[in-house]
């Protein structure tokens, strides 16, 4: 006759089949949820780094503007060596990054050494659709007449002036994790900004805060189209920063990640 305690012990554990089934269920659930968790984490890192970098640039710009009698960026006179004054903003922007303790780099020697070059090659920059960016066309990325700075948080910022007058005076490109990390892709870790004249119909007022996201001021559908994986200057990720800002500094579920 089998004692009650022996029967109770036999039914107190799990069989091998039960353990394997449980592990299988856990594996399926993990496979379904882990990619989403990883992606959300990546979005959070990018978002925080972008917001932090943008805020640091704003602080540097305000400090540099104070040295220029509080005139807005487009009116700064930092380099009188240029006859027409077209590229004065490059040397002016050095002052912005000096104010926040960024590491400054000289003018890029070639198209493949634009982003905070450290004497070793880095991955090519692409648009949202994977097409390699054409650095010779300012409307898409930047061109060799560019300067860069490494921010205290590790982000790389490139600035390029436009050789014309008007409200749009140049471009800023922010790579939130620098050229030697991440995909180096528009809308994923690289974002476009411009510096413009104040009080130029872009909702900036006349206080000199002239660094804005590329496309900022457009409606959400326009910005989403400019951020999606499309061809052309106004697509393929060029307006992703503006979309994030318009969504109150969020990367929403419909963001073309």
Distance CA(104)–CA(130), nearest Å, equals 29
Asked if 147 and 159 count as a contact pair (C-beta separation under 8 A), the reply is yes
Report pLDDT for 172. 86
Report pLDDT for 201. 44
Asked if 133 and 114 count as a contact pair (C-beta separation under 8 A), the reply is no
C-alpha distances in Å from residue 149, one per residue of 124, 154, 208: 18, 10, 21
Report pLDDT for 257. 87
Per-residue pLDDT of the chain (257 residues; tens, 9 = 90+): 555 555 455 556 678 777 778 777 887 777 777 677 777 888 999 999 999 999 998 888 778 777 767 666 656 655 444 444 445 556 667 888 888 999 999 888 887 888 999 999 999 888 888 877 665 454 456 666 788 999 999 999 998 766 544 556 678 899 999 999 989 998 999 998 887 655 544 433 444 446 788 888 888 988 888 888 665 545 578 889 999 999 999 999 999 88
Report pLDDT for 197. 58
Distance from chain centroid for Cα 104: 19
Using DSSP, state whether 49 is helix, strand or coil: helix
pTM: 0.78
Closest CA to 236 of 188, 179, 178, 171: 188
Distance CA(112)–CA(114), nearest Å, equals 6
- DSSP symbols for 192-245: EEEEE-TTSSSS-TTSS--EEETTTTS-HHHHHHHHSS-SSTTSTTTTHHHHHH
Beta bridge partners, 8, equal: none
Distance CA(119)–CA(157), nearest Å, equals 17
């Amino acid at each position: 006759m089998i004692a009650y305690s022996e029967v109770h012990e036999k039914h107190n554990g799990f069989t091998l089949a039960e353990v394997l089934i449980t592990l299988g269920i856990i594996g399926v659930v993990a496979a379904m949820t882990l990619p989403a968790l990883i992606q959300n984490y990546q979005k959070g890192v990018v978002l925080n780094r972008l917001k932090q970098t943008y805020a640091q640039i704003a602080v540097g710009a305000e400090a540099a503007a104070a040295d220029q009698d509080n005139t807005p960026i487009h009116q700064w006179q930092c380099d009188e060596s240029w006859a027409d004054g077209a590229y004065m903003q490059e040397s002016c922007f050095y002052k912005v990054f000096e104010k926040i303790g960024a590491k400054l780099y000289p003018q890029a020697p070639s198209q493949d050494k634009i982003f905070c070059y450290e004497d070793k090659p880095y991955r090519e920059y692409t648009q949202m659709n994977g097409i390699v960016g054409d650095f010779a066309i300012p409307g898409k990325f930047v061109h060799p007449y560019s300067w860069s700075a490494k921010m205290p948080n590790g982000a790389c910022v490139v600035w390029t002036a436009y050789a014309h007058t008007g409200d749009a005076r140049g471009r800023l490109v922010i790579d939130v994790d620098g050229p030697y990390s991440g995909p180096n892709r528009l809308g994923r870790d690289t974002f476009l900004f411009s510096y413009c004249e104040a009080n130029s119909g872009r909702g900036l007022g006349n206080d000199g805060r002239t660094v804005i996201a590329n496309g900022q001021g457009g409606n959400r559908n326009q910005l989403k189209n400019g951020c999606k994986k499309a061809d052309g200057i106004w697509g393929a990720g060029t307006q992703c920063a503006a979309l994030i800002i318009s969504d109150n500094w969020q990367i929403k579920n419909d963001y073309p990640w």
